[in-house]
Structure 1
Amino acid sequence: MDAVTLRGGRVVTPGGVVDADVVVEHGRIAAVEPRRPAFVSQDDSNPGRPGQSPGGSVDLEGRWVLPGFVDVHVHGGGGAQFNTADPEEVLRVARFHAQHGTTALLATTVAAPVDDLLVALGAIRTAVETPAADAAELLGIHLEGPFLSRRWPGAMDPGHFLDPDPALLDRLLAGGRVRSISLAPELPGACGLIERAVDAGLLVSLAHSDAGYDDAAAAVRAGARAVTHAFNAMRPLHHRDPGMLGAALDLDELTCEVICDGVHVAPAAVRLLQRLKGPARTALVTDAIEATGLADGEYRLGDRRIAVADGRATLPGAETIAGATLTMDRALRNAVVFCDVSVADAARMAATTPAELLGIADRKGSVAPGRDADLAILEPDLSLAGVMARGAWVRPLGADPAAVQPPSPSR
């Protein structure tokens, strides 16, 4: 890969915001150098094309340079979803989200019949093993279910939920590539299953649950380290019965996902969560579905039909929210507004914290020498200007946002 210098950016680094040039070589960040005057001729500047490594220099003209976003909870986007038998559909999701600043993600499945779930895991594994240069990196699989509470199904079909089953977990893990599992800690045998999953190297997150505080605390002792879409699909907080949500807010061991779209969680509640947990224990996620980026209409979430109106996804004829139509660039902007936090803190929640949660902070989640050259370039108003993934432009600077939106699929 050719070397390129991104000149004159406001760079969000682990040490703070620096006016600097970012040098990219061989797909990695070679240096972050304090800004110095430089002339970039027309011939020397190369904005690049999607999937191609740039060469020479690019003048950022004071734009923000953030680490590429890491989304640990995303089901689909651009007319495709991860509950599929088609590896190309998996890659379509990864390509879509790359256009919105996500440079790495966990392909997240919803609960489904076991045989169907195993087929989907096979398709995702194939996509992981045949990566595309113009797509977000597929870090592995996040299983949202099937070990969830029937009392809090959200938009999923509770008929697909099962009690914790070590033999089934082994079947799901047999093909490799599973990196995370969301489960309800109050179910019989849950703590034993958590220990088994942690021993297998998985991140365990607590979700879709009627658990009490003590159930959640026991799960943490067993190795759970996160809470899936905090506030959603769980018992509400009560001052005499704080439940799993109270544990999520109270226990330092737990990092909380939050869907920062203004639909799933009120801005005041997002602000409260962030103040209690801080950027180091708050992870922005999209929970995006296949309808993300498309017009209102009827879509899928797993094998269920859902309806999208004014960007809000619900089960048809009901108020039950069915995933989100959120992208990570919007989530970051919302976090800045909702929580009144700095761009650096929002970038931590969108990139660094999820990378740390997955144990990949040595290569993802920060703009620092030696890390992958995964970069989200933002305009001063925080709208997305360009995206680089592993040293290659996947969305060149100045691209028309409308040009990267897929057409609505026929149904």
Structure 2
Amino acid sequence: MSPRVDPLPRRLGVARYFDGTRLHPGDVEITGNTVSRVGLPPGPDGLAAPGWIDLQVNGFAGVDVLHAGEAELRAMATRLAATGVTAALPTVITATCADTAAAVGAIDAVCRAPEPNASRFLGAHLEGPFLSSAFPGAHPTPLLRTSSTALLELTALPGVAMTTLAPELFDDATITAAAASCVVSIGHSDGTATRSREAFAAGAGALTHAFNAHRPIRSRDAGPLGAALTSPHAVLTVIADGIHVATENLTVLHRAAPGRLALITDCTVATGLPNGDYSFGDLSVTVADDRAMLSDGTLAGSVATLDHCVRVAAATWGLEVALAAASRIPAELLGRYDLGQLGAGSIADLVCLDDDLRVVETIIDGNTAWARHKEKLPACR
């Protein structure tokens, strides 16, 4: 029998590290797939942070999640690592129940047998078809559904980690049952503040892309956003790409819901690709001026990457808040307390950044999944 060879420790050479809540001076050491020491004598610059978790990835770099097979999803997982994403929820937009189930099956297969040195898939996010026709966004309204039976059948599929739904379409018992299978997020909703608060009490845990595609705050009805802001356990996901949400509204979110914000990209098949026309699910979208749009100008997801969103958020919220919103908070929402933190003994899922918050290296399970000195970063918006 050959003797066991222990992995050699490796220093990252950073000046600072973020533990999931606070920044600290010092370097980080990893041994195998584990962080072995932190707070070592610092390197000259840069920082290490827990790997980023994107809860809403509709597609990326030519891959459309709804219609992707296993091979395409694996390619997407590999490419996502270049943007600091170490884990993600591939997101299935509104489709027939049969197409949704098929997409979930492909995602689950990748979850069960992950691609080496690629972003982890933590399960599927179903964004539809259980949405309001009053706030469909880019979702095709003929395919929207209101069946509680269909909702519970789809959310119970192996591999489903999250679903977005309009709570006014379902009773509390249905929401509670769905929340027993996956994270329930309110979104694409015309629900009142009262109905939204009831849904949070019944088990919903989040609001999908705050300020986008839901009933707005009004003087005598605060809608889903007002309910989420005033529900102490609700996480608010937000697309901080500089397009979807005004800077003033990002500030409102931070002041009203500190510690409850999670950055998402809502990125699509066109992310990282040139301007032009693309198929997104069953939609035709045009990308121009950093926007993915339907023919009527409706935004159809984004072409943002999570590293870009972190930079936008850091300029508005501060660096610690932005890093937590990309790592610890989404991890906790999913109940993945093994992720989203950086300390001695934690999993070595890390992103190393330069002082301009640009990705230098992405480390997944202790291995370098992407490094700037080896590859050119895909086009970012």
1:348 aligns with 2:324: yes
Structure 2 partner of 1:94: 77
Q: 1:336 is aligned with what amino acid?
A: A
The TM-score normalised by the length of structure 2 is: 0.94
Determine helix, strand or coil for the equivalent of 1:377.
strand
Query: Which of 111, 131, 143 is matched with 1:148 structurally?
Result: 131
Deviations 1:328-373 (CA, angstroms, capped at 9, x unpaired)? 1100000012x2x332221101111101111112x21111122221
1:139 aligns with 2:122: yes
CA distance in 2, matches of 1:120, 1:295: 26
The TM-score normalised by the length of structure 1 is: 0.87
Structure 2 partner of 1:25: 31
Q: 1:61 is aligned with what amino acid?
A: P
Give yes or no for contact 1:194–1:204 (8 Å, CA) kept in 2. Answer: yes
Give yes or no for contact 1:77–1:290 (8 Å, CA) kept in 2. Answer: yes
Give yes or no for contact 1:385–1:399 (8 Å, CA) kept in 2. Answer: no
CA distance in 2, matches of 1:310, 1:367: 37
CA distance in 1, matches of 2:50, 2:156: 33
1:22–1:315 CA distance, 2 compared to 1 (3 A): same
Query: Which of 174, 177, 197 is matched with 2:178 structurally?
Result: 197
Give yes or no for contact 1:82–1:93 (8 Å, CA) kept in 2. Answer: no
Q: 1:333 is aligned with what amino acid?
A: R
Give yes or no for contact 2:20–2:340 (8 Å, CA) kept in 1. Answer: no
Deviations 1:86-115 (CA, angstroms, capped at 9, x unpaired)? 111112222222110000011111010111
Query: Which of 180, 184, 189 is matched with 2:166 structurally?
Result: 184
1:240 aligns with 2:216: no
1:2–1:117 CA distance, 2 compared to 1 (3 A): farther
Give yes or no for contact 1:81–1:93 (8 Å, CA) kept in 2. Answer: no
Q: 1:209 is aligned with what amino acid?
A: S
CA distance in 2, matches of 1:249, 1:156: 25
Q: 2:11 is aligned with what amino acid?
A: T
Deviations 1:124-163 (CA, angstroms, capped at 9, x unpaired)? 1111122112311000111111111011110010111110
1:214 aligns with 2:190: no
Structure 1 partner of 2:263: 284
Query: Which of 313, 324, 330 is matched with 2:302 structurally?
Result: 324
1:15 CA displacement: 6.0
What RMSD in Å do the two structures reach over aligned CA positions?
1.7
CA distance in 2, matches of 1:121, 1:15: 33
Further displaced range: 173-182 or 78-87 = 173-182
Give yes or no for contact 1:182–1:205 (8 Å, CA) kept in 2. Answer: yes
Q: 2:322 is aligned with what amino acid?
A: A
CA distance in 2, matches of 1:231, 1:240: 17
Determine helix, strand or coil for the equivalent of 2:116.
coil
Q: 2:323 is aligned with what amino acid?
A: A
1:14 CA displacement: 4.2
1:248 CA displacement: 1.7
Determine helix, strand or coil for the equivalent of 1:105.
strand
Query: Which of 143, 149, 153 is matched with 1:171 structurally?
Result: 153
Q: 2:127 is aligned with what amino acid?
A: E
Gaps of 5+ in 2: 1-6
Q: 2:325 is aligned with what amino acid?
A: M
CA distance in 1, matches of 2:283, 2:375: 33
1:174 CA displacement: 4.9
Query: Which of 117, 122, 133 is matched with 2:105 structurally?
Result: 122
1:28 CA displacement: 1.7
Give yes or no for contact 1:10–1:63 (8 Å, CA) kept in 2. Answer: yes
Give yes or no for contact 1:376–1:386 (8 Å, CA) kept in 2. Answer: yes
CA distance in 1, matches of 2:156, 2:183: 16
Aligned residue-pair number: 374
Q: 1:70 is aligned with what amino acid?
A: I
Runs of 4 or more consecutive aligned structure 1 residues displaced over 4 Å after TM superposition? none
Q: 1:300 is aligned with what amino acid?
A: S
1:169 CA displacement: 3.2
Give yes or no for contact 2:20–2:50 (8 Å, CA) kept in 1. Answer: no
1:379 aligns with 2:362: no
Determine helix, strand or coil for the equivalent of 2:122.
strand
1:175–1:210 CA distance, 2 compared to 1 (3 A): closer
CA distance in 2, matches of 1:275, 1:300: 38
Further displaced range: 129-138 or 153-162 = 129-138
1:223 CA displacement: 0.5
1:105 aligns with 2:85: no
Structure 2 partner of 1:9: 15
Q: 1:377 is aligned with what amino acid?
A: C
CA distance in 2, matches of 1:267, 1:367: 29
Deviations 1:255-304 (CA, angstroms, capped at 9, x unpaired)? 100000111111111111111111x2000000000100010011122111
CA distance in 1, matches of 2:17, 2:156: 41
CA distance in 2, matches of 1:350, 1:15: 11
Determine helix, strand or coil for the equivalent of 2:214.
coil
Gaps of 5+ in 1: 37-59, 407-411
1:61 CA displacement: 3.1
Give yes or no for contact 2:20–2:323 (8 Å, CA) kept in 1. Answer: no
Further displaced range: 206-215 or 383-392 = 383-392
